[in-house]
C-alpha cells in the first residue's frame, strides 16, 4: 500500500498535506480499501471552523456511511468540487484528484499529534 512520506496521517485514516497555514486532507488508500466503492461525499462545512477531531462531513460507500474527522482545528476553505459528480475519484486517486477539503490551520501545535508515514504504515499493518 502507498502512504506518501511527505504527508501526515491520523488514526482515523485521514492524510494531511500542510503548506504554510493551509492544509489539504483526504482519506488514505487503506481507508478506501476498507470502505469499498465510494458513492457519495457530503461536506457542508465551508466557512466553518471545526475543532480537531470534530466531524467534517460523511462519506458513503456501497456498504456503509462513515464520518470524516477534522485532523487539526481550522476553518474549512474549500471542498473538492470534482467529488460532487465523481466521488469515485477518492477510490481512484486518494492522494491526488480525490482530495476532499482545504482548510486554514488555526493551531500549528496540533501538527505534532499527527503520524509520519512509517507510523501510519505500522498502524494498519
CATH number of the domain to which 52 belongs: 2.40.50.100
Q: Do 105 and 21 form a contact (C-beta atoms < 8 A)? A: yes
Q: pLDDT tens digit string along 23-72?
A: 999 999 999 999 999 999 999 999 999 999 999 999 999 989 999 999 99
| 118 is a domain residue | no
Q: Do 102 and 16 form a contact (C-beta atoms < 8 A)? A: no
pTM of the model as a whole? 0.93
Classify the C-alpha dihedral 27-29-34-37 as positive or negative. positive
Closest CA to 12 of 70, 76, 92, 99: 70
| 115 is a domain residue | no
| 38 is a domain residue | yes
pLDDT band at 1 (very low <50, low <70, confident <90, very high): confident
Backbone dihedral angles phi then psi of residue 47, each to the nearest 5 degrees: 90, -15
Query: Cα–Cα distance between 104 and 7 in angstroms, integer?
Result: 16
Q: pLDDT tens digit string along 69-93?
A: 999 999 999 999 999 999 999 999 9
Q: What is the count of structural domains for the chain? A: 1
Return the percentage of the chain with pLDDT > 90, whole number: 98
- Say how many Å lie between the first and final Cα of the chain, rounded: 10
Query: Cα–Cα distance between 6 and 84 in angstroms, integer?
Result: 27
| 124 is a domain residue | no
For residue 19, give its domain range.
Answer: 8-107
Amino acid at each position: 500500500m502507498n502512504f506518501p512520506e511527505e504527508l501526515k496521517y491520523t488514526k482515523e485514516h485521514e492524510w494531511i498535506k500542510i503548506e504554510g497555514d493551509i492544509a489539504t486532507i483526504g482519506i488514505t488508500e487503506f481507508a478506501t480499501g476498507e470502505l469499498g466503492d465510494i458513492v457519495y461525499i457530503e461536506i457542508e462545512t465551508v466557512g466553518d471552523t471545526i475543532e480537531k477531531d470534530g466531524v467534517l462531513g460523511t462519506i458513503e460507500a456501497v456498504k456503509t456511511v462513515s464520518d470524516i474527522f477534522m485532523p487539526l482545528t481550522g476553518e474549512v476553505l474549500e471542498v473538492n468540487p470534482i467529488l460532487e459528480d465523481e466521488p469515485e475519484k477518492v477510490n481512484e486517486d486518494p492522494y491526488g484528484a480525490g482530495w476532499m477539503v482545504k482548510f486554514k490551520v488555526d493551531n500549528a501545535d496540533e501538527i505534532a499529534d499527527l503520524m509520519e508515514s512509517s507510523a501510519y504504515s505500522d498502524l494498519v499493518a
